[in-house]
């Protein structure tokens, strides 16, 4: 078993009866009209570097890692915000693009703590991945520059641990706005915003702690975060999971799909699964975070039956329990009519 | 109004007010009352001769006679010199239209500014106002746009994009609502044309926007002004109220049978709100983050509807074009830069102010003929054109013509027409640092090159200025400029390298530590 890594097309799937055909890095590809150049590239397996884009959210165009060259167009447009068009000839790699991406990454890393080995996102960090992809080897801006991570920096903010399930570490924020947009677009709560402008910009729960904010702890922001800025406390404590299983939430009747991400037989976190048709990668606080019952000592893990309400529960085999339920349904229907049996689910 | 009383024109423009125009009015009232003189004081906008503000004009049988700069304590002396009949005085400037600074201009957009009472529709009409709108009201939308196309008008906000294409895109967009938005968030340092026009001739803007409404099918317009311009905002409110009352705006705008209404809004002091998509976000009540394009505002703009966003000067050029024909406008200018450009001359200059010129005049004419050289009397060393994101040109490049293409070829931009003059005491390395600093302060913080790059630019320029590994850090600045130019989301980060690289290219001697100082010391 291994960790299930879901494909990220960078921008949401667009449905259209019209198809457009374009050429990306010399290869022809057809996609539904409205599809971004980034998603079109991904549909043929070409991953254009990205940080602010994810297919759970509308394109935003802020990180400037996904720049491409398009024949006949000026400059280097962002592939996430550029819709694919018929006859477009796109290059995702060139010396110039490589230079731009590396330059942008150099800027990111000039305001990022280099503590990857002890970071909770180590091994699951898009910033780390992209730094690797662009081949950044040197940050020339030097030390003693304005930053948000050194404890004595006037811009440094404390880690917000007020939410019981996840923490917010502003030192690691790359201001991609994915959390803010997830809160707006996926959850619809609008609890998050960016405070300050320019270099001072930082994610904020509208000026109060996460716990005191309008946040409903759905976890969409944590899932959207490409770094360790918003991170499940269980991952901070236990480390990254090593395998996962797709399962259905045990709570209500909606039937949300989750990836149970585990270390051995221990759940490290529950992450909503994009392939789940009931929830399409989103969930509520219960399935996302309130799974402590899974290993609770009071959890009932074997079927039990009792003859009357005054009898003690008695552990039985699954076969006996199911047979018992079936025979009782039949008995009651026999005695009181077919419609005497009903079911309630939630 | 006293019948037959002499009319005196005193500006209420922000610059004139800052220089004591209200004090002059009070002194005139006091002194004329003392002398039993009947007087009708008309508060106007400014003609844009800022070095002689407050410029007071008196109506005489031989036309208006100007005096300036007039201070409150000059008033008694002026009245003694028979100013009310155009009497001689050391402050007498003569007929305004004969003052070379004005006489050598081609005033189309600013023809009425400083001349008329900004809130009198009669005065406006008497000076040619409303003729364009009345003509447009009887035309169909496509014909109006053809006229704009014939004029060759390009966006005066700075981008120089053909105005008619934007208009036609909005006209052809299919939507239940469309908007006209006027960008009056004039934030470029050294620019003041939008303010002068809004304070001195607001009906021209209203007329231009209303014509745009008729041409595009939009029924609602917004003017996005700025908190730093309280007089301009007040002037807009007053003029809009008059326009509504008189049926210029309303259910049948100017009798066209089509509805058009305009609302003025006030920004809260962010430069980035002058960027059109950021402005739209702000108008929607949101944090002013720049939007990625596409979609362009003409397709999906304010509240998701097709929106025409133009600068004050673009809209203000329209009434003249509609009244006199696009062809007549296109007769001014050169190449693909047609019509006139209201240049705003500021900085270290003898005669600063508004200079509306046909494209094609040289930068040297602006600085030397109109400006009269530096105020300090020292040699001109650098001229920055196009606001804080424009290039610094050395004196030897002043023969460049005012022309979008010529400026682009010189790796600069005309922008909104701001021209700021520096003498030989300027340190261009510090100006390059300032360009980054301006960007760092005003960045919306959305895209990485601008958000982090501007701050790194300031820090790296500090190292260059301090002589720390100068060549290495200067190369880093050059690399950073490439990232910002090609990587930024909007023109804020994308054009910040223009002043930086122009300073490095044209004034390399300022970028090696102490070289100028050591030369001076030798």
What are the Cα distances from residue A215, in Å, to A162, A220, B293? 11, 10, 31
pLDDT tens digits along A138-154: 999 998 999 999 999 99
Which residue among A104, A193, A200 places its CB closest to the CB of B483? Answer: A104
- Say whether residue A121 is in contact with chain B using an 8 A CB cutoff: no
What are the Cα distances from residue A18, in Å, to A15, A88, A114? 9, 16, 47
pTM of the entire predicted model: 0.94
Q: Give the pLDDT confidence score for residue B433 in this predicted structure.
A: 98
Task: Judge contact between B388 and B499, C-beta under 8 A.
Answer: yes
Cβ neighbours of A194 in B, within 8 Å? 287, 289, 445
Q: Tell me which chain B residue has its CA closest to the CA of residue A178.
A: B446
Task: Judge contact between A104 and A135, C-beta under 8 A.
Answer: no
Chain B closest-CA separation from residue A212 CA (Å):
22
Instruction: State whether A64 and B449 contact (CB < 8 Å).
Output: yes
- Say whether residue A230 is in contact with chain B using an 8 A CB cutoff: no
Q: Give the pLDDT confidence score for residue A44 in this predicted structure.
A: 97
Segment A282-308 shows an average pLDDT of 93
Q: Tell me which chain B residue has its CA closest to the CA of residue A200.
A: B445
Q: Give the pLDDT confidence score for residue A143 in this predicted structure.
A: 86
Instruction: State whether A62 and B489 contact (CB < 8 Å).
Output: yes
Q: Give the pLDDT confidence score for residue A295 in this predicted structure.
A: 84
Q: Give the pLDDT confidence score for residue B513 in this predicted structure.
A: 67
Q: How far apart are CA A133 and CA A92, in angstroms?
A: 13
Instruction: State whether B455 and A193 contact (CB < 8 Å).
Output: no
Q: Give the pLDDT confidence score for residue A344 in this predicted structure.
A: 84
3-state secondary structure (DSSP) of residue B73? helix
pLDDT tens digits along B489-506: 999 999 999 999 999 999
DSSP 8-state code for residue A82: S
Chain A closest-CA separation from residue B177 CA (Å):
23
Segment A184-192 shows an average pLDDT of 98
Task: Judge contact between A203 and A182, C-beta under 8 A.
Answer: no
Q: How far apart are CA B254 and CA B239, in angstroms?
A: 15
Instruction: State whether B294 and A62 contact (CB < 8 Å).
Output: no
Instruction: State whether A107 and B456 contact (CB < 8 Å).
Output: yes
3-state secondary structure (DSSP) of residue A309? coil
Chain B closest-CA separation from residue A189 CA (Å):
16
Cβ neighbours of B442 in A, within 8 Å? 198
When the candidates are 3.30.70.1380, 1.20.1440.230, 3.40.50.10540, 1.10.260.40, the CATH number that belongs to B428-521 is: 1.20.1440.230
DSSP 8-state code for residue A312: P
Task: Judge contact between B6 and B59, C-beta under 8 A.
Answer: yes
Q: Tell me which chain B residue has its CA closest to the CA of residue A177.
A: B446
Cβ neighbours of B468 in A, within 8 Å? none
Q: How far apart are CA B235 and CA B238, in angstroms?
A: 5
Task: Judge contact between B166 and B310, C-beta under 8 A.
Answer: yes
Q: Give the pLDDT confidence score for residue A54 in this predicted structure.
A: 98
Q: How far apart are CA B463 and CA A143, in angstroms?
A: 12
The phi and psi torsions of B420 (rounded to 5 degrees) equal -120, 125
Runs of H (alpha helix) within B355-443: 363-364, 404-409, 428-442
Domain B121-330: what homologous superfamily? NADH-ubiquinone oxidoreductase 51kDa subunit (3.40.50.11540)
Task: Judge contact between A139 and A239, C-beta under 8 A.
Answer: no
Cβ neighbours of A79 in B, within 8 Å? none
Q: Give the pLDDT confidence score for residue B3 in this predicted structure.
A: 56
Task: Supply A232's token pair.
Answer: 């499940």
Segment A44-66 shows an average pLDDT of 98
Instruction: State whether A198 and B447 contact (CB < 8 Å).
Output: no
Q: Is the CATH code 3.40.50.2000 the one for domain B6-96?
A: no
3-state secondary structure (DSSP) of residue A258? strand
pLDDT tens digits along A211-244: 999 999 999 999 999 999 999 999 999 999 999 9
Q: Give the domain ranges of chain B.
A: 6-96, 121-330, 333-423, 428-521
Cβ neighbours of A62 in B, within 8 Å? 292, 446-448, 489
Q: Specify the pairing of strand B179-183 against strand B307-311.
A: parallel
Q: Tell me which chain A residue has its CA closest to the CA of residue B459.
A: A145
Q: How far apart are CA B416 and CA B402, in angstroms?
A: 12
CB burial string A14-39: b at 16+ within 10 A, e below: eeeeeebebebeeeebebbebbbbbb
Task: Supply B210's token pair.
Answer: 């209303």
Chain A closest-CA separation from residue B159 CA (Å):
15
Cβ neighbours of B293 in A, within 8 Å? 81
How would residue A345 be classed by pLDDT, with cut points 50, 70 and 90? confident
Instruction: State whether B292 and A59 contact (CB < 8 Å).
Output: yes
Give CATH for domain B333-423: 3.10.20.600
Q: Tell me which chain B residue has its CA closest to the CA of residue A62.
A: B447
Q: Tell me which chain B residue has its CA closest to the CA of residue A67.
A: B487
Q: How far apart are CA B258 and CA B250, in angstroms?
A: 8
3-state secondary structure (DSSP) of residue A200? helix
Chain A closest-CA separation from residue B45 CA (Å):
36
Cβ neighbours of A76 in B, within 8 Å? 486-487
Cβ neighbours of A145 in B, within 8 Å? 455-456, 459
Q: How far apart are CA B158 and CA B349, in angstroms?
A: 23
CB burial string A172-209: b at 16+ within 10 A, e below: bbbbbbbbbbbbbebbebebbbbbebbbbbbbbbeeee
What are the Cα distances from residue A280, in Å, to A43, A55, A250, A318, B273? 19, 11, 17, 32, 36
The phi and psi torsions of A21 (rounded to 5 degrees) equal -120, 130
Q: Give the pLDDT confidence score for residue B520 in this predicted structure.
A: 39
Closest C-alpha to A102, from B118, B479, B343, B514: B479
Instruction: State whether B456 and A145 contact (CB < 8 Å).
Output: yes
Quickly tell me which residue has 């702890």 as its tokens. A217
Q: Enumerate residues 101 to 120 of chain A having a beta carbon within 8 A of any beta carbon in chain B.
A: 103-104, 107-108, 110-111
Cβ neighbours of A99 in B, within 8 Å? 482
Per-residue pLDDT tens digits of chain B, which is 522 residues long = 445 689 999 999 999 999 999 999 999 999 999 999 999 999 999 999 999 999 999 999 999 999 999 999 999 999 999 999 999 999 999 999 999 999 999 999 999 999 999 999 999 999 999 999 999 999 999 999 999 999 999 999 988 999 999 999 999 999 999 999 999 999 999 999 999 999 999 999 999 999 999 999 999 999 999 999 999 999 999 999 999 999 999 999 999 999 999 999 999 989 999 999 999 999 999 999 999 999 999 999 999 999 999 999 999 999 999 999 999 999 999 999 999 999 999 999 999 999 999 999 999 999 999 999 999 999 999 999 999 999 999 999 999 999 999 999 999 999 999 999 999 999 999 999 999 999 999 999 999 999 999 999 999 999 999 999 999 999 999 999 999 999 999 999 999 999 999 999 999 999 986 544 434 333
Other CB atoms closer than 10 Å to residue B389's CB: what's the count?
25
Cβ neighbours of A175 in B, within 8 Å? 445, 451
Q: Give the pLDDT confidence score for residue B7 in this predicted structure.
A: 96
**Interface probe with A: pick from B446, B475, B493, most Cβ of A within 10 Å:** B446
Instruction: State whether B445 and A78 contact (CB < 8 Å).
Output: no
Domains, chain A: 19-93 (3.10.20.740), 304-340 (no CATH)
**Interface probe with B: pick from A62, A68, A83, most Cβ of B within 10 Å:** A62
Asked, as a colleague might, if the bond just before B432 is cis with ω within 30 of 0, I would say: no
Chain B closest-CA separation from residue A267 CA (Å):
36
Cβ neighbours of A63 in B, within 8 Å? 447-448
């Amino acid at each position: 078993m291994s960790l299930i890594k879901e494909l990220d097309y960078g921008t949401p799937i667009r449905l259209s009866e019209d198809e457009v055909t374009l050429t990306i890095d010399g290869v022809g590809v057809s996609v539904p009209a409205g599809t971004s150049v980034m998603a079109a590239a991904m549909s043929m397996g070409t991953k254009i570097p990205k940080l602010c884009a994810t297919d759970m959210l509308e394109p935003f165009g802020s990180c400037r890692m996904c720049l491409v060259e398009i024949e006949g167009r000026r400059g280097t447009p962002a592939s996430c915000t550029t819709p694919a068009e018929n006859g477009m000839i796109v290059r995702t790699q060139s010396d110039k693009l490589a230079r731009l991406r590396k330059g942008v990454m150099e800027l990111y890393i000039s305001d990022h703590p280099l503590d990857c080995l002890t970071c909770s996102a180590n091994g699951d960090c898009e910033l780390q991945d992209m730094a690797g992809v662009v081949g950044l080897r040197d940050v020339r801006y030097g030390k003693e520059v304005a930053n948000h991570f050194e404890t004595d920096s006037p811009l440094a903010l404390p880690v917000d641990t007020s939410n019981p399930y996840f923490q917010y570490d502003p030192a690691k924020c790359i201001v991609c706005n994915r959390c803010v947009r997830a809160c707006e677009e996926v959850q619809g709560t609008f609890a998050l915003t960016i405070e300050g402008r320019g270099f001072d910009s930082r994610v904020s729960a509208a000026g109060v702690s996460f716990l005191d904010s309008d946040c409903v702890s759905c976890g969409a922001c944590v899932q959207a975060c490409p770094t360790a800025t918003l991170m499940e406390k269980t991952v901070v404590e236990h480390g990254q999971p090593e395998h996962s299983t797709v399962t259905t939430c045990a709570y209500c009747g909606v039937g949300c799909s989750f990836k149970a991400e585990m270390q051995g037989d221990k759940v490290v976190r529950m992450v909503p699964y994009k392939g789940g048709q009931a929830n399409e990668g989103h969930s509520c606080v219960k399935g996302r975070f309130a799974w402590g019952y899974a290993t609770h000592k009071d959890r009932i893990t074997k079927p039990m039956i009792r003859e009357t309400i005054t009898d003690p529960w008695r552990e039985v085999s699954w076969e006996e329990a199911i047979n018992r339920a079936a025979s009782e349904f039949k008995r009651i229907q026999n005695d009181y009519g077919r419609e005497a049996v009903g079911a309630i689910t939630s | 109004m006293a019948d037959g009383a002499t009319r005196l024109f005193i500006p209420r423009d922000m610059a004139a007010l800052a220089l004591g125009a209200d004090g002059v009015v009070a002194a005139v009232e006091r002194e004329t009352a003392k002398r039993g003189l009947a007087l009708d004081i008309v508060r106007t906008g400014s003609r844009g001769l800022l070095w002689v503000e407050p410029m007071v004009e008196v109506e005489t049988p031989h036309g208006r006679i100007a005096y300036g700069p007039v201070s409150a304590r000059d008033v008694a002396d002026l009245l003694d010199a028979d100013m009310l009949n155009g009497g001689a005085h050391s402050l007498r400037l003569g007929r305004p239209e004969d003052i070379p600074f004005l006489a050598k201009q081609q005033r189309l957009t600013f023809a009425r500014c400083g001349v008329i009472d900004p809130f009198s529709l009669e005065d406006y009409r008497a000076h040619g106002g409303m003729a364009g709108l009345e003509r447009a009201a009887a035309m169909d939308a496509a014909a109006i746009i053809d006229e704009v196309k014939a004029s060759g008008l390009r966006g005066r906000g700075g981008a120089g994009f053909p105005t008619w294409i934007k208009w036609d895109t909005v006209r052809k967009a299919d939507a239940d609502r469309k908007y006209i938005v006027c960008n009056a968030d004039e934030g470029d340092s050294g620019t003041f044309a939008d303010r002068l026009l809004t304070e001195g001739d607001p009906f021209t803007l209203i007329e231009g926007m209303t014509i745009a409404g008729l041409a595009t099918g939009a029924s609602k317009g917004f003017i996005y002004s700025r908190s730093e311009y309280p007089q301009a905002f007040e002037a807009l409110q007053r003029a809009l109220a008059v326009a509504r009352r008189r049926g210029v705006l309303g259910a049948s705008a100017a009798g066209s049978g089509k509805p058009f209404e305009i609302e003025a809004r006030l920004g809260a002091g962010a430069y980035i709100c002058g960027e059109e998509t950021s402005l739209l976000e702000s108008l929607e009540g949101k944090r002013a983050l720049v939007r990625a394009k596409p979609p362009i505002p003409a397709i999906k703009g304010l509240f998701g509807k097709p929106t025409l966003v133009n600068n004050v000067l673009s809209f203000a050029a329209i009434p003249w074009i509609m009244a006199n024909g696009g062809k007549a406008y296109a007769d001014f200018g050169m190449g693909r830069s047609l019509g006139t450009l209201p240049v705003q001359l500021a900085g270290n200059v003898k005669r600063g102010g508004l200079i509306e010129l046909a494209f094609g005049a040289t930068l040297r004419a602006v600085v030397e003929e109109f400006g009269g050289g530096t105020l300090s009397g020292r040699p001109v060393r650098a001229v920055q054109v196009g606001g804080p994101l424009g290039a610094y040109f050395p004196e030897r490049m002043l023969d460049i013509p005012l022309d979008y293409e010529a400026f682009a070829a010189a790796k600069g931009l005309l922008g909104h027409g701001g021209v700021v003059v520096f003498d030989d005491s300027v340190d261009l390395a510090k100006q390059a640092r300032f360009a980054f600093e301006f960007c760092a302060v005003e960045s919306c913080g959305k895209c990485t090159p601008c958000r982090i790059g501007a701050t790194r630019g300031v820090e790296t320029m500090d190292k260059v200025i301090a002589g720390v590994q100068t060549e290495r850090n200067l190369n880093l600045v050059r690399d950073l400029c490439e990232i910002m130019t090609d990587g930024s989301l909007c023109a804020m980060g994308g054009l910040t390298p223009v002043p930086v690289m122009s300073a490095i290219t044209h004034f390399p001697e300022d970028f090696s530590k102490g070289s100028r100082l050591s030369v001076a010391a030798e």
